[in-house]
Amino acid sequence: MTRRTGGTSVRLIECAKTFAEGTRALEPLSLDIAGGETVVFLGPSGCGKTTTLRLIAGLERPDAGGRVLFDDEDVTDLPIEARNVGMVFQSYALFPNMNVEGNVAYGLKVRRTPPKELAARVAEMLAMMEIGELRDRRVDQLSGGQRQRVAIARAIAVRPRVLLLDEPLTALDALLRERLRVDIDALLRKLGVTAVYVTHDQAEAMALGDRIVVMSQGLVTQIGTPREIYYRPANRFVADFVGTMNRVTGTAADGFLETRSGRIPWEGTERGEVEVLFRPENAAITTPGEAHLRGTIRTAFFLGDRTRLLVEGVGATPIVVETSGRREYREGEEVGLRIEPGSLLTLSD
Amino acid sequence: MRRGVLFYAQFAFTLAVCAFLIVPVILSIMAGVTVNFFHGITSGITLRWVFQVWDLYSDTIYLSLLIALTCLVCTVVLGVPAAYVLAKRQGRIGRIIEEFVTLPLAIPGLAIALALLIVYGEFRAFRMSWLFILVGHVLYTLPFMLRAVLAVLSTADFRTLEEGAASLGASFWQRFFGIVIPNCRSGILAGSLMVVTLSVGEFNLTWMLHTPLTKTLPVGLADSYASMRLEVGSAYTVVFLIMNIPLLMALQLYGRPAKPRTVVAEEGAGAAVPAADAAR
């Protein structure tokens, strides 16, 4: 985990949000975000992640009793324009009546920055986001990726205390998303600004977050580093939402787990009927002699760098296994699986 | 491509309809510039009637322009903020208010005028001034401005634009004048052209509300038809057309932007409301 110092810390104390028509968008949430840290809120739509971001931004007020602190300053009653945050929207929200330069300069102009300083800062931002040659373009003459670069430049030009990104890459196609994600990661590290990033894309969350807050139905289900979330999911929701998880049930005894399709070495303390979970990358296709489990291939997806196999007859639902070998797999073929012993997980809920 | 009988039949029908609408206008214009209409064009072409109209009725033209421009200022000042508030609060109350503001469109101008007379007739000075007519015109044209601006406001994502501006530190007024107003320019322009065109041509209301000293152009026009020679009335029509046709053309050009200016596509702002009165 990389903790960077110097940024503004953000503290949410018992922040809940109920909308006027009675919908509870967020259950009381307390969270400390360290200065310079990047926290990613991850979850399906309607889970409360955007509401949380808007509470930090000042676009929403928490229900009575909730407080939002920037460092030691209580900003709960400050509207967004007084909080000095930078915000990047999924829909970019660039001003169509201004060109690129005008958009980037807007926050500085509103702050009555002296012209010389303003020009220097705008030039710096355009260079940093590599959009210098676009400075005179109108907003509707830009591609999606370019628009988001302008939006980021505009948000960081005012040196915000906290940078808030609301699904900034969702509207872009896969290739651009990947590239901009790398750029955003480098940018956040370089600036050392406290950042809150909202997404429903677990790959984005893994790549960008110092910590990930997984949310579901207005509740935080787990807070942890990407590794903790991935390797030690706290519950079934997190296990299923982040990455792919296979499930196999069996009877645990000393040293092994007996399942309907074979035996897996067992190091756990549970005994009797258990459900174990493992990631696709922790299972390997092997010869029948070395296999722990046996199953039948239902579908094989050739993905180029690897082949993804759906194997039946192992768990209640087909399990997913990936192999990088050049061998071709056919439907109905019998395969042996070897599971990495330390990789088995059990979850109580 | 070979065109069939149907095409030519439709073409002829279209021409016939156009002729039905245009011929009276052309005849009227010709009447306005001939020496004697009953002797026909052979009696000679003259601008005498036009000058006579100018001598007799120029004050009605100035008054019409004054009322139209003041009316425009009023509808912009009232209509744009109202549209903004209605666009922001899209609840049931918002829709009810919108319907109320649009109500004058459904009520005959005479009825509105009568209502105004009943309520404000006692205030002599007000009733005698051109401001009384202005009130009627504002009531009548406000819905057009409101709708035109609302149409633009509801297509672009103004909420997020404003949130973006607010996140950058802009106060409400900075957002309103720096972001909202500039980005609904096309709606304000379409609404403005509509308001001026309607106000210049408005007759029903104005006829009821005017006094001998506060005659607008269309009222003067009716006056001249009733009491002057046909040539003078027709020349008056020519003056009216010279004033209103450029406005109508501008309305056609800018009222429905073919190419959207903003990121989100805009509908033709004034397209929903007929310009029937303006063409009268």
CB-side exposure of B83: number of CA atoms within 13 Å?
Answer: 31
- Predicted local distance difference test score (pLDDT) of residue B256: 59
DSSP strand E in chain A: where?
A: 10-18, 24-33, 38-42, 67-70, 73-74, 85-88, 162-166, 194-199, 211-216, 219-224, 246-252, 256-259, 262-265, 272-278, 283-286, 293-302, 307-312, 319-323, 334-339
- Top pLDDT among A138 and B247 is at A138
Write the residue in B156, B157, B170 that is nearest to A110 by C-beta: B170
**What are the backbone dihedrals phi and psi of residue B219, each rounded to the nearest 5 degrees, phi first?**
-65, -45
Question: Could you tell me which chain A residue has the CA closest to the CA of B159?
Answer: A93
pLDDT surpassing 90 at residue B123 = no
- Report the 10 Å Cβ neighbour count for B131: 13
B168 with A84: Cβ contact below 8 A: no
Please give the average per-residue pLDDT across A230-239, as a whole number: 90
Topology classification of domain A246-343: OB fold (Dihydrolipoamide Acetyltransferase, E2P) (2.40.50)
CA-atom Rg of chain A in angstroms = 24
Residues B65 and B25 in one domain: no
Residue B51 lies in a domain: no
Please give the average per-residue pLDDT across A60-81, as a whole number: 93
pLDDT surpassing 80 at residue B257 = no
Residues B34 and B137 in one domain: no
Angstrom distance (rounded) from CA B71 to CA A103: 35
Please give the average per-residue pLDDT across B72-82, as a whole number: 93
Confidence bin at B260 (pLDDT 50/70/90): very low
Please give the average per-residue pLDDT across B18-29, as a whole number: 89
**What are the backbone dihedrals phi and psi of residue A206, each rounded to the nearest 5 degrees, phi first?**
-60, -45
Confidence bin at B2 (pLDDT 50/70/90): confident
Q: Using the Cα atoms of residue A170, residue A175, residue A180 and residue A186 in order, give the sign of their dihedral.
A: positive
Confidence bin at A18 (pLDDT 50/70/90): very high
pLDDT surpassing 70 at residue B266 = no
Interface of B with A (CB under 8 A): 156-157, 160-161, 163-171, 174, 178-179, 182-183, 185, 261-263
Please give the average per-residue pLDDT across A113-118, as a whole number: 93
* Domains identified in chain B, total number: 2
Per DSSP, the residues of B160-171 read: HHHHHHHHTT--
Burial label, A335 (beta-carbon count in 10 A; 0-12, 13-18, 19+): buried
Contacting residues for A26 by C-beta, under 8 A, at least 6 apart: A15, A16, A17, A48, A51, A52, A55, A218
Percent of the residues in chain B that have a pLDDT greater than 90, as a whole number: 27
- Please list the alpha-helical segments (H only) found in B202-229: 204-209, 217-227
Kindly state the DSSP code that residue A80 receives in the 8-state scheme. Answer: G
Question: Could you tell me which chain B residue has the CA closest to the CA of A58?
Answer: B167
Residues B134 and B68 in one domain: yes
Q: Which of A105-119, A174-188, B158-172, B214-228 has the lowest mean pLDDT?
A: B214-228
- Please list the alpha-helical segments (H only) found in chain B: 5-33, 48-88, 92-102, 109-120, 124-128, 130-155, 158-167, 172-175, 181-183, 185-201, 204-209, 217-227, 230-255
Kindly state the DSSP code that residue B36 receives in the 8-state scheme. Answer: -
- Predicted local distance difference test score (pLDDT) of residue A2: 46
B167 with A57: Cβ contact below 8 A: yes
B170 with A106: Cβ contact below 8 A: yes
* Mutation target among B168, B171, B176, B186 for the A interface, most CBs of A within 10 A: B168
- Report the 10 Å Cβ neighbour count for A100: 28
pLDDT surpassing 60 at residue A43 = yes
Note whether A322 and A307 are within 8 A (CB).
yes
Angstrom distance (rounded) from CA A313 to CA A261: 7
CATH label of the domain that carries residue B88: 1.10.3720.10
Residues B131 and B204 in one domain: yes
How much is the mean pLDDT over chain A?
Answer: 90
pTM for the model stands at 0.79
pLDDT surpassing 60 at residue B258 = no
Distance separating the N- and C-terminal Cα atoms of chain A:
27
Confidence bin at B40 (pLDDT 50/70/90): confident
Q: Which residue has the tokens 């645990």?
A: A252
Write the residue in B164, B171, B178 that is nearest to A87 by C-beta: B164
Which chain A residues are Cβ-neighbours of B261 within 8 angstroms?
96, 140
Note whether A223 and A211 are within 8 A (CB).
yes
- 3-state SS, B47-64, equals CHHHHHHHHHHHHHHHHH
Could you tell me the residue ranges of all domains in chain A?
10-241, 246-343
- Predicted local distance difference test score (pLDDT) of residue B170: 93
pLDDT surpassing 80 at residue B58 = yes
Note whether B132 and B209 are within 8 A (CB).
yes
- For chain B, say whether A234 makes contact (Cβ under 8 Å): no
- Buried b / exposed e across B96-107, counting CB within 10 Å, b at 16+? ebbeebeebeee
Q: Please name the residues between 30 and 89 in chain A that touch chain B, using a CB distance below 8 Å.
A: 57, 59, 79-82, 84-87, 89
Q: Please name the residues between 161 and 180 in chain A that touch chain B, using a CB distance below 8 Å.
A: 164
Confidence bin at B32 (pLDDT 50/70/90): confident
Burial label, B255 (beta-carbon count in 10 A; 0-12, 13-18, 19+): buried
Q: Which two tokens stand for residue A138?
A: 């109108």
Give chain A's count of helices (H) and strands (E): 8, 19
Please give the average per-residue pLDDT across A116-142, as a whole number: 92
Percent of the residues in chain A that have a pLDDT greater than 70, as a whole number: 98
Confidence bin at B8 (pLDDT 50/70/90): very high
Q: Which two tokens stand for residue A37?
A: 């840290």
Kindly state the DSSP code that residue A269 receives in the 8-state scheme. Answer: S
Kindly state the DSSP code that residue A61 receives in the 8-state scheme. Answer: P
Please give the average per-residue pLDDT across A226-246, as a whole number: 90
Confidence bin at A167 (pLDDT 50/70/90): very high
Kindly state the DSSP code that residue A343 receives in the 8-state scheme. Answer: G
Confidence bin at A30 (pLDDT 50/70/90): very high
Note whether A266 and A255 are within 8 A (CB).
yes
Please give the average per-residue pLDDT across A21-33, as a whole number: 91
Which chain B residues are Cβ-neighbours of A106 within 8 angstroms?
165, 168, 170, 178
What homologous superfamily does CATH list for A10-241?
P-loop containing nucleotide triphosphate hydrolases (3.40.50.300)
Q: Which of A82-91, A176-185, B237-246, B259-268 has the lowest mean pLDDT?
A: B259-268
Angstrom distance (rounded) from CA B9 to CA A346: 81
- 3-state SS, B96-109, equals HHHHHHHHHHCCCH
Residue B111 lies in a domain: yes
Question: Could you tell me which chain B residue has the CA closest to the CA of A99?
Answer: B262
Closest alpha carbon to A87 in A64, A65, A60: A60
pLDDT surpassing 80 at residue A272 = yes
- Predicted local distance difference test score (pLDDT) of residue B264: 38
Q: How many residues does chain B have?
A: 280
Please give the average per-residue pLDDT across A86-93, as a whole number: 92
Q: Which of A23-32, A295-304, B115-124, B180-189 has the lowest mean pLDDT?
A: B115-124
A93 to chain B, closest Cα gap in Å:
5
- Predicted local distance difference test score (pLDDT) of residue B255: 61
Contacting residues for A167 by C-beta, under 8 A, at least 6 apart: A50, A90, A198, A199, A200
Residues B192 and B211 in one domain: yes
Please give the average per-residue pLDDT across A300-325, as a whole number: 88
A95 to chain B, closest Cα gap in Å:
7
**Measured at the alpha carbon of residue A71, what is the angle toward residues A68 and A75, in degrees to the nearest 5?**
35
Which chain B residues are Cβ-neighbours of A107 within 8 angstroms?
168-170
Domain range holding B145? 57-279
For A285-299, how does the pLDDT look when each residue is reduced to its tens digit (9 = 90+)?
888 788 889 999 999
Residue B192 lies in a domain: yes
Residues B219 and B147 in one domain: yes
